[in-house]
Structure 1
Amino acid sequence: MTHPANTLVLVADIGGTNTRCALAKGREVLPETVRRYSNADYAGLEVVLRRYLSDEGDVDPAAACVAVAGPVRDGAATMTNLDWQIDRDTLARATKAETVSILNDLQAQGHAIGHLKDGSVRQIIAGPQTPPSPQAVRLVVGVGTGFNAAPVFETTGGRFVPPSESGHANLPIRNEQELRLCQYVSTAHGFPAVEDVLSGRGLERVYAFLGQEAGDPRARSGKAIMAACADGSDPRAVEAASLFARILGTVCGNLSLIQLPFGGLYLVGGVSQAFGPHLSAFGFAEAFRDKGRFAGFMSNFEVSVIEDDYAALIGSAAHIDALMSQ
């Protein structure tokens, strides 16, 4: 495939296991150019990107932006499960692009808001009838392999999505069962972080915790737990999903009071998508609003789930396009 030189933008979503690459024209990701690469097959990001550019006919991109599942500081990214060197120099050398940028994957999700295709946002909790102002803060909350959250600010200089590592904050406790869950997680991992429960692995831990509570310990994968919720074949799976959803509601409510996202809260990530159809039935909204005298105030915040698998790529394209326009 041949592409015009110095016109398109290379975007990539780098996870712990796979890297997805694509080309974008402005803020539009070209679906036919999306390719996935297994990280285990490559020595580093530079090799992956060069392979992708070769696979796309030795395309010469005008710019490049990558989203990374890990903290980004001063143009360099660190990943928990990958020892690749990911920084601006590496990105520029691999792509020969004039403009490059590195984002945390949740930052990329924040930049995608407002640029997603129709039908890719599922409403969970309705917000006020009056539309929010264009400057209203939004909040993205990622639940997948891990957990994270980031506010989205509209400024006179453009959109600003600061990085965050919210998944490593302490897990909140509202009742005795949740205290025992925190103690269970602490015993296994030394510290009861939000991510230890609100993630794919976290759902599996909640299921195992309930088994220990019942004196009938059993292990199931997160995928199997969600499948059992859908077909009603395992009451413990439903109980685990309900506990998970209520804790997620509590955490999202806390984050909403901190950031005041009058423009809406957006749940993103594979676990969020899997839970989306079940959140209302499992008590998410009740836990979200359970803030004492501020319960009524919580009706100011609409909550939705983003169901677009390309959101991080779209956000990367939107961010680099805005950067090039400055």
Structure 2
Amino acid sequence: MTRPANSTYSLVADIGGTNTRVALAQGTRLLKDTVTRYSNVDYPGLEAVLSTYIDAQSVDCQGACVALAGPVADGRGSMTNLDWELDEATLVRATKSKTAYLLNDLQAQGYALGSLSQGAVTSLVAASSDQPSASDTKLVIGVGTGFNVAPVYETRGGRHVPPSESGHINLPIRNAQDLRLAQYFETTHGFPAVEDMLSGRGLERLYSWLGIEAGEPRDINAADIMAGFEAGTDDRAREAATMFVRMLGTVAGNMALIHLPFGGIYFSGGVARAFAQHFAPLGFEEAFRDKGRFTDFITQFEVGVIEDDYAALTGCANYLCALS
């Protein structure tokens, strides 16, 4: 597709641990026909990906915004699960744009809220309270190759989505089984982080640990675990899925009490979407609301899942427009 060189298009990108999606936006409108997916292992870094994309699109961009799965500070970012270092000066050079910004991927998801197409969010847990107001805080929880959380604040100066690295806090412990699991992660990975369990590879580690507990160790990939669970052919896969969902409910409930997201909690990411249909039968809501004397209080928070795989790209476009 050839576009005019003097266009007012913006370039937006979303870098995950496995793939990078790149697209063009016109104002806040994402041009979905321009979305292209690149496998990260095929490129030495983001600059090579963007150069390939821009050459294919034949476009000059006025601005660029890139969301990445890792911490961002002072215009520089590093990938948590990928050996790429990024900075805004490199983005300007690679995209030939006037301005360029880096965001954490969960920040981008937060900036997308309210701009997604109808039906892009599926409700998982209803709230007991009245309709939220536009100024209420929201919360995005990303579960994919990694895990992270981002609060979304509506301020007088506009929307603010601060960065976070919540996937690297330690797992909560409620019982003896949780303690044994945390000790296993401590021994195997050096620290019992939430992301060690609540991510795609975390499901694999959980399944492996259950095998060790049973004296029948066996390692399989996350896709096969989900297939065995959904087909009802692997009891260990069902146990792993149940523990995964209930721990996710516990962690989400903890985050809800920290941030008070009366505007709703939004799950994002491929693993979250894969598990969404299983939240109810596997006990997510019960674990989410199991907060002692605050059990009734936490019923005020609605929980949903973002079905739009391009939400972070939309968020990047919104962020660029907000700064223009």
Scaled by the length of structure 1, what TM-score is found?
Answer: 0.96
Cα separation, 2, equivalents of 1:183 and 1:133: 43
Cα separation, 1, equivalents of 2:96 and 2:210: 53
Alignment-derived partner of residue 12 in structure 1:
13
Letter in 2 for 1:55: A
Distance 1:308 1:210, change over 3 A: same
C-alpha distance after superposition, 1:64-117 (max 9, x if no partner): 100011100011101134443411111111112122211011111111111111
Matched, 1:321 2:295: no
Matched, 1:21 2:1: no
Alignment-derived partner of residue 91 in structure 2:
91
Matched, 1:41 2:46: no
Letter in 1 for 2:44: A
Q: CA deviation at 1:42?
A: 2.7
- Structure 1 stretches of 4+ moved >3 Å: 80-85
Cα separation, 2, equivalents of 1:82 and 1:240: 26
Cα separation, 2, equivalents of 1:164 and 1:98: 27
Alignment-derived partner of residue 78 in structure 2:
78
Greater shift in the superposed pair: 7-16 or 66-75: 7-16
Cα separation, 2, equivalents of 1:228 and 1:118: 33
Alignment-derived partner of residue 111 in structure 2:
111
Q: CA deviation at 1:129?
A: 4.7
After TM superposition, the structure 1 = structure 2 runs for residues 153-232 of structure 1, keeping only pairs within 5 Å, are 153-232=153-232
Q: Which runs of 5+ in 2 are unaligned?
A: none
C-alpha distance after superposition, 1:167-223 (max 9, x if no partner): 110100011111111111112112111111111111111111111121211112111
Cα separation, 1, equivalents of 2:146 and 2:80: 11
Cα separation, 1, equivalents of 2:140 and 2:241: 21
Letter in 1 for 2:191: F
SS in 1 for 2:66: strand
Cα separation, 2, equivalents of 1:63 and 1:189: 40
Q: CA deviation at 1:153?
A: 0.5
Cα separation, 1, equivalents of 2:45 and 2:211: 41
Identity %: 61
Alignment-derived partner of residue 123 in structure 2:
123
Q: CA deviation at 1:10?
A: 0.4
Greater shift in the superposed pair: 16-25 or 292-301: 16-25
Q: CA deviation at 1:15?
A: 2.1
Cα separation, 1, equivalents of 2:7 and 2:76: 24
Greater shift in the superposed pair: 161-170 or 118-127: 118-127
Letter in 2 for 1:30: L
Root mean square deviation, CA, Å: 1.3
Cα separation, 2, equivalents of 1:6 and 1:63: 11
Cα separation, 2, equivalents of 1:48 and 1:202: 28
SS in 2 for 1:32: strand
Letter in 2 for 1:15: G
Cα separation, 1, equivalents of 2:80 and 2:231: 35
Letter in 1 for 2:39: S
Matched, 1:280 2:280: yes
Cα separation, 2, equivalents of 1:179 and 1:236: 19
Alignment-derived partner of residue 146 in structure 2:
146
Greater shift in the superposed pair: 2-11 or 293-302: 2-11
Q: CA deviation at 1:292?
A: 0.3
- Paired residues, what number? 323
Q: CA deviation at 1:293?
A: 0.3
Greater shift in the superposed pair: 154-163 or 289-298: 154-163
C-alpha distance after superposition, 1:198-254 (max 9, x if no partner): 111111111111111212111121111111222111111111100111111000000
Cα separation, 1, equivalents of 2:43 and 2:287: 44
Distance 1:35 1:124, change over 3 A: same
8 Å contact kept, 2:79–2:85 = no
SS in 2 for 1:184: helix
Cα separation, 2, equivalents of 1:195 and 1:164: 13
Q: CA deviation at 1:18?
A: 2.4
